[in-house]
Amino acid sequence: MSNSNYSSVQPLTEDPIRSFAEPQEILSDGSDYRALITTNRGTILIDLFQDKAPITVNN
């Protein structure tokens, strides 16, 4: 299925980046981490479980 609303984009480099440096760990013990997602239908509050997925929450 072809859609004329899309166009091909050339890569920025010939050699894609395959690895990234780890982010600095900034989680604090005893803190509760949440994310707010605002849409045109309202705001969603998400509780992030740093004890279950600390790497994901830290990112």
Tell me: the pLDDT tens digits for 12-40?
Answer: 888 877 787 888 888 888 899 999 999 99
**Which phi and psi (to 5°) does residue 35 adopt?**
-125, 140
Q: Fill in the amino acid letter for 23.
A: P
H/E stretch holding 44:
strand 42-48
Query: What's the confidence (pLDDT) of residue 36?
Result: 96
Measure the CA angle with vertex 56, ends 43 and 11; round to 5°.
90
Whole-number pLDDT of residue 2? 58
Residues 47, 32: contact at Cβ < 8 Å?
Answer: yes
Q: CA neighbours within 13 Å on the CB side: how many for 6?
A: 5
